[in-house]
Amino acid sequence: MRDLNILGIDTSCDETSVAVLKGTKVLSNLMPSQSKLHSEFGGVVPSLAKLEHQKTIDSVVERAVRRSGLGFKDIDLIAVTQGPGLAIALEVGIRKAKELAIQYKIPVVAVNHMEGHLLSSLLNTDFDTFTDFKFPTLGILVSGGHTEIIQVDSLSNYKKIGQTLDDACGECFDKCGRMLGLGYPAGKTISEFAKRARKKYKTYIKRENKGEYVYLDLHSAQMRLPVGMTNADSFDMSFSGLKTAFGQLVSGLRLRVEVIEQLCLILEIAAYRQITNKLNLALKSQTYKSVIIGGGVSASARFRSEIRTVAKRYDLNFFYPDQKFCGDNAAMIALSGLIKANFFKQSILSFEQAQMLDREPNLSI
């Protein structure tokens, strides 16, 4: 594996993220978030995201390169997110990549944002981790925009075998969090409330109808939520039924702190149970050598421990990203670029070819 110096750019959503890598080692990784700007709208507003990216991209690129200790002349390759993401936001990063490519005559590689999440646990590892990485691996990507199960047959050979048919798991958390007045994004806060509640109410968690529902059976409250897709043989998932049921549950309750804690606990259990059910189903369906996770929700300690438990049951290696690389970041985009440069040279565009590059917002694994 060649130790290239790679500049990564990701403007797919609400982070103007720029990173510099030397091989797999992260020299700098900036990701100023716009979440405060969007929080009053309860979700990302594409036109606002675009304006903010435009305002900050030049300075974030400058700072990321400066902080890496390298100069623009040292950069061997630019990796930029092509999709999936918000079209008008992606355009800002791609335009900047083209501009830098021309100015410094640097080749460019277009990266799939989800591939970045999938490979993010390999950041800052040594090259041996790549050789330890046995295939096929089962990837689970859980973010605010996607919830997918991926069969990884080799680095850069992916097949999506399951996905949410409606809302993503993180999106469900964000919408349910809004009903509770927890701000945006709400996933982390829901995790924290659920953690506190788990200690208090662990023994009251029940399952009903062969696992179709999870149930918090308290004297003061009886809270029941559907797990979703329990009768389906496919690896597809669905979170909109959970969101609707959560809304109905919330509407009948007075939202005192302990009630919010209970609601967060039961929501988290229902959401993760659906994912682990599908993980079990996938691992039963064929032999995998390891499990790898990525995406914003994989920052949750509870989520990691649930997936780890299933992976252990099948005696599989479990790979997960460092906390700081779970959410959207450009380091993971640069790493995907490194892998392409080493194994798929045909995907590298000269700085002239790169001028034709366009965003593909619907691109997915």
Instruction: Give the binding site for ligand KG4 (CB under 6 A).
Output: 13, 143-145, 170-171, 173-174, 185-188, 191, 295-297, 299-300, 327-328
Give yes or no for residue 167 binding Zn ion (CB under 5 A): no
Work out how close the CB of 170 gets to ligand KG4 at its nearest, in angstroms, rounded to a whole number.
3
* Partner interacting with residue 144 (select from ligand KG4, Zn ion, none; CB below 5-8 Å by kind): ligand KG4
Three-state SS string across the chain, please? CCCCEEEEEECCCCECEEEEEECCEEEEEECCECHHHHHCCCCCCHHHHHHHHHHHHHHHHHHHHHHHCCCHHHCCEEEEEEECCCHHHHHHHHHHHHHHHHHHCCCEEEEEHHHHHHHHHHCCCCHHHHHHCCCCEEEEEECCCCEEEEEEEECCEEEEEEEECCCCHHHHHHHHHHHCCCCCCCHHHHHHHHHHHHHHHHHHEEEECCCCEEEEECCCCEEEEECCCCCCCCCCECCHHHHHHHHHHHHCCCCCHHHHHHHHHHHHHHHHHHHHHHHHHHHHHCCCCEEEEECHHHHCHHHHHHHHHHHHHCCCEEECCCHHHCCCCCHHHHHHHHHHHHHCHHHCECCCHHHHCCCCCCCCC
Work out how close the CB of 38 gets to ligand KG4 at its nearest, in angstroms, rounded to a whole number.
12
Work out how close the CB of 279 gets to ligand KG4 at its nearest, in angstroms, rounded to a whole number.
17
Choice between 5 and 143, CB closer to ligand KG4 = 143
Give yes or no for residue 328 binding Zn ion (CB under 5 A): yes
Of the candidates 29, 56, 137, 143, which one interacts with Zn ion according to CB under 5 A?
143
Work out how close the CB of 272 gets to Zn ion at its nearest, in angstroms, rounded to a whole number.
19
* Partner interacting with residue 226 (select from Zn ion, ligand KG4, none; CB below 5-8 Å by kind): none
Choice between 6 and 141, CB closer to Zn ion = 141
* Partner interacting with residue 297 (select from ligand KG4, Zn ion, none; CB below 5-8 Å by kind): ligand KG4
Work out how close the CB of 113 gets to Zn ion at its nearest, in angstroms, rounded to a whole number.
6
Choice between 67 and 302, CB closer to ligand KG4 = 302
Choice between 277 and 300, CB closer to Zn ion = 300
Work out how close the CB of 359 gets to Zn ion at its nearest, in angstroms, rounded to a whole number.
15
Q: Catalog residues that contact Zn ion under the rule CB under 5 A.
A: 143, 328
